[in-house]
Structures are given as structure tokens and as C-alpha cells.
């Protein structure tokens, strides 16, 4: 009799500022962000998706996004979350990222990304 082990290794996550938790951060698995990049490629035009897809595929280089660019990214992420072909899980993640980016832009602060294991 075999069982699937219940304990798994931690997957690397991207931690973004201005999130919805108590500390003002959100955690998103890098694997899920990469799948969201695929949806962005299908949903957005090539001129719109360039920097956003790069950020989702390799968030380690995200660093700090200025407020005016965070506002634009929030609008694009919101469009992805509302696209009819996006599954519910990635749609919710896109919406959470859009909300965090919009909060950062509304506060006039940079939207910060960092990687944690």
C-alpha cells in the first residue's frame, strides 16, 4: 500500500507589497505566476504584454515598480482576471495582483516584488 506523502518541499514564492494580508503582503508561487504569463500572452496584445509577461515569468528581477507603472500593470492584470478563458484559480491570482498594484499606485508608493523560499 502506497500513500502520497503529505509533507512537500516548499516551493519558491514571489512576495508582493500592498497585499491583502495583515502584514500588507501577498505570496504567489512562481509556478503559478509563470502560468499566468501564458494567459497574458493569449489575452493581451503584444505591445501591452511585453513587460508584464517578463515580470510574471521572471519576478526575481521585478524589484520595485514605480506608482505610475503599477497603475498600468493593475489595469492589465484586471483585464486578464476578467478574460473568459482564464480559469478561476489564475483569475483570482491576477485579481489579487491587480488589487495590490492598484493600492500601491493609489498610495503613491512603489510596488515591491521579492523572492522567498
Per-residue pLDDT of the chain (117 residues; tens, 9 = 90+): 567 777 777 788 899 999 988 888 999 999 999 999 999 998 899 888 888 888 888 887 668 999 999 999 999 999 999 999 999 999 999 999 999 999 999 999 999 999 887
- Whether 71 maps to a domain, the answer reads yes
Q: What angle do CA 98, 99, 101 make, to 5 degrees?
A: 65
Model pLDDT, residue 110: 95
- Whether 81 maps to a domain, the answer reads yes
Q: CA nearest 77: which of 62, 55, 106?
A: 55
How many domains are contained in the chain? 1
- Whether 103 maps to a domain, the answer reads yes
- Whether 98 maps to a domain, the answer reads yes
- Whether 9 maps to a domain, the answer reads no
3-state SS track over the chain: CCCCCCCCCCCCEEEEECCCCCCCEEEEEHHHHHHHHHHHHHHCCHHHHHHHHHHHHCHHHCCEECHHHHHHHHHHHHHHHHCCCCCHHHHHHHHHHHHHHHHHHHHCCCEEEEEEC
- Whether 19 maps to a domain, the answer reads no
- Whether 76 maps to a domain, the answer reads yes
- Whether 34 maps to a domain, the answer reads yes
With a threshold of 0.85, does the pTM exceed it?
A: yes
**Phi-psi region for residue 14, left (φ > 0), alpha (ψ -120 to 50) or beta?**
beta
Q: 62 lies in which domain range?
A: 27-116
Model pLDDT, residue 71: 94
Amino acid at each position: 500500500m502506497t500513500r502520497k506523502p503529505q509533507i512537500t518541499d516548499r516551493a519558491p514564492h514571489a512576495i508582493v507589497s500592498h497585499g491583502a494580508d495583515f502584514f500588507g503582503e501577498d505570496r504567489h508561487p512562481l509556478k503559478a505566476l509563470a502560468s499566468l504569463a501564458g494567459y497574458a500572452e493569449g489575452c493581451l496584445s503584444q505591445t501591452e504584454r511585453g513587460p508584464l509577461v517578463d515580470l510574471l515569468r521572471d519576478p526575481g528581477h521585478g524589484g520595485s515598480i514605480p506608482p505610475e507603472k503599477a497603475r498600468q500593470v493593475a489595469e492589465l492584470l484586471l483585464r486578464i482576471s476578467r478574460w473568459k478563458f482564464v480559469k478561476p484559480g489564475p483569475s483570482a491570482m491576477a485579481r489579487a495582483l491587480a488589487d495590490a498594484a492598484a493600492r500601491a499606485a493609489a498610495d503613491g508608493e512603489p510596488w515591491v516584488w521579492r523572492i522567498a523560499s
